[in-house]
Amino acid sequence: MSNPFQIVVCGSIVPDPLQTLEPVTAAAGPSLKNEMMLPAVLDPWAGHALFEAANLAQKTPGSKVWLVSQGPKAKLQQVMMTVAQKVPFELVALDGPSSGFADSFETAAALAGAIQGIAGLDKTRLLVFGGWESASRGAGSTMQMVGERLGITEQFFGVDQIEILADGGMEILERVEGGKHQVSVCSAPPAVLGWATGNLPEPRNNPQVGMANMRTIMPALQRAKAAPGANAGLSYASVSLPKQQRETRVVKNMPAEEIAREIIAWVRED
């Protein structure tokens, strides 16, 4: 039987993707128009990571799941009312920005600090889950920096599946080009896994799970540490909606290098 895991999921909140998002330049820097009024959801990439973590914990008796989330406390509370009904977890909240304009370096520092502050965390059983990308930042670098700050060098990204082996190791499927997967084997924790969509459906709401989670979520929100995210040294010249433009040309047997050159030339024309 496998040893129990301690699984920490890093997940931010993002504006509901069904809303129209309009970037604006405010006095404090770029932001979204009426950002605090927009309904929020758990980042879909992080959601997959959370569901996979809960599934792994269920299959491995004695395992526990934490959700480390950074965002404005009022927004976190709204989102957690829904997320809490999906799967069992313990919330570690950070009161800070969840904007897509937040610096991923500072976000990673705040998340890593929160993980290190979890009482009783055993690094030899630690798995850090998160989204391969983000619907908010899309930097693709946050989880890597979290792992480096925690001293975890075994990192896997684009993960669709994890299977625990008889010897306690892990077989991990990572997405590669051509719709294929790379099969990797990690002998033991700790490890960082950046999840793609995985294979699991979204769990159904369970009010009993929600009530059990809310007993710890509300105190966690009250204890949320401030993570202001000063974005030191980061500036934006302007923010605007992308242009809606489509130019289609069908070309056969064109080398990848030539395609890349054309794309770069097209981007520079803007």
Tens digit of each residue's pLDDT (9 = 90 or more) over 98-152: 776 777 788 888 888 889 888 888 888 999 998 887 766 666 788 888 899 999 9
CATH at 14: 3.40.50.620
**pLDDT, position 1:** 46
**Any domain includes 237:** no
Q: What is the mean pLDDT of the chain?
A: 83
**Any domain includes 235:** no
**Any domain includes 217:** yes
pLDDT by 10-residue block (mean), the chain, 270 residues: 83 78 69 74 87 91 90 85 89 80 80 88 90 71 88 90 88 86 89 87 87 88 75 63 72 88 82
**Any domain includes 202:** yes
Q: What percent of the chain has pLDDT over 70?
A: 87
Measured distance CA(89)–CA(79) in Å, rounded: 14
Domain that holds residue 37: 6-226
**Any domain includes 14:** yes
Instruction: Report the number of distinct structural domains present in the chain.
Output: 1
23 burial (CB, 10 Å; 0-12 / 13-18 / 19+) is: middle
3-state secondary structure (DSSP) of residue 49: helix
Could you tell me the pTM of the whole model?
0.79
**Any domain includes 239:** no
**Any domain includes 253:** no
**Any domain includes 146:** yes
